[in-house]
Amino acid sequence: MRILVDAMGGDRAPEEIVKGAVAASKELSSEIVLIGNRDKIEPHMEKTGSSLEIIHAEDVITNDEQPVNAIRKKKESSIVKGLRLLKEGKVQAMVSAGSTGALMAGGLFVVGRIEGIDRPAIATVFPTQKDPVVLLDIGANSEVKPKNLVQFAIMGSIYAEEIIDIQNPTVGLMNIGVEEEKGNSTIKAAYAALKQVETINFVGNIEARDIFDGKVNVVVSDGFTGNIFLKTLEGFGTYIFNRLKAEVKSNITYSLGAMLLKPALHKIKASLDYSEYGGAMFLGIDGVLVKCHGSSDSKAIANGIKAAFKFAKANVSEKLKQNIKLIEKEN
């Protein structure tokens, strides 16, 4: 298996990307290939004392560029060139911390969608009091139709089974209340449609505050709501730990108590660390495409590569194709 890593994507590229790729190459039975500007990558490769294949790509798509225009104009960028290799089957997965918009646009226009999927979704994983939960969509689709939410539920359920190893995962629809009649017209129609899908374990609506109790394994949402929820979670987590630090430093008694609690606090912080979860998956794209956080360090990149390896090895894309065909037959 060959996994392609965009060495030019992210705030810490290419140094942290190279370090993460080298680290992953030592753990996986897979060939890790870097793509990007060779002159900028090689000095960092030399520092690691390792040698990975480098595919030269002259251009870089930045976050401030309009995604569709960038994909059309920058044919020799690391993202576009990499996605072409994915489409051609010359690599079995691609990992990038670059522009989310460009990766989504390129995934659609260069790689293409799985047949039957109207809208691909971005899925991520985060911790709860029980099992980790899969949340999708987290930003690919601000506006959706009921059919899109049904497809998100199917894809999220397969992801939870194959990647997190949760058997018969429960699926919840994010809403402003748990009652069936709550929500806007799209949510209500999606609820009715989800009840008819026999291949997933749909358990009804779930409010955002209940997600962390682990009441469901998969949470389905439109990309606008999902993105706001995720960024609020990230911001609040940072706020809490910063506030704790400030309070501890303000009082000697608190400092002594914090020393006793330090192992527990580190454990909680680690569980909230995005770098542990290997990035977000573009589900519905006809290939394995993983998006790491823009500020990813080498650890996050390495975990993103491991997630891509697991996703490709489990042949999740093929299972998505089979399940979507089954649903279309039922309808």
Burial grade of 283 (CB within 10 A; 0-12, 13-18, 19 or more): buried
Domain identity same for 14 and 107? yes
Domain identity same for 199 and 55? no
Residue 295 vs residues 143, 237, 318: alpha-carbon distances, Å? 27, 16, 31
Domain identity same for 319 and 200? no
**In this predicted model, what pLDDT tens digit does every residue of 54-76 receive, in sequence order?**
999 999 999 999 999 999 999 99
DSSP bridge partners of 96:
291
Q: What total number of domains does the chain contain?
A: 3
Domain identity same for 57 and 157? no
Q: Helix (H, G, I), strand (E, B), or coil: what is residue 306? A: helix
Residues 6+ apart with CB under 8 A from 324: 114, 115, 116, 117, 151, 154
Query: In this structure, what are the phi and psi dihedrals at residue 283, rounded to the nearest 5 degrees?
Result: -90, 135
pLDDT at residue 329, as a whole number: 52
Domain identity same for 81 and 146? no
Angle, alpha carbons 290-6-291 (nearest 5°): 20
Domain identity same for 58 and 197? no
Domain identity same for 191 and 139? yes
Angle formed by the axes of helices 185-194 and 146-163, nearest 10°: 50
Domain identity same for 174 and 208? yes
Domain identity same for 217 and 319? no
DSSP assignment string, 226-253: HHHHHHHHHHHHHHHHHHHHHHHHH-HH
Domain CATH code at residue 211: 3.40.718.10
Cβ neighbour number for residue 244 with a 10 Å cutoff: 15
One pLDDT digit (tens) per residue for the chain, 331 residues = 999 999 999 999 999 999 999 999 999 989 999 999 999 999 999 988 888 999 999 999 999 999 999 999 999 999 999 999 999 999 999 999 999 999 999 999 999 999 888 889 999 988 888 888 999 999 888 899 999 999 999 999 998 988 888 999 999 999 999 999 999 999 999 999 999 988 899 999 999 999 989 899 999 999 999 999 988 888 887 888 788 888 888 888 777 777 777 777 666 666 555 555 568 999 999 999 999 988 889 999 999 999 999 889 888 888 888 777 665 555 5
Distance, in Å, from the CA atom of 61 to the CA atom of 277, rounded to the nearest integer, reads 25
Domain identity same for 17 and 91? yes
The answer to whether residues 117 and 26 touch, using CB atoms and an 8 Å cutoff, is no
DSSP assignment string, 36-97: E-HHHHHHHHHHHT---EEEE--B---TTS-HHHHHHH-TTBHHHHHHHHHHTTSSSEEEE-
**In this predicted model, what pLDDT tens digit does every residue of 1-45 receive, in sequence order?**
999 999 999 999 999 999 999 999 999 989 999 999 999 999 999
Domain identity same for 205 and 108? no
Structure tokens at 143: 């506006």
From the centroid of its chain, how far is CA 115?
A: 21
Domain identity same for 139 and 66? no
- Which residues constitute the domain of residue 257? 236-266
pLDDT at residue 325, as a whole number: 66
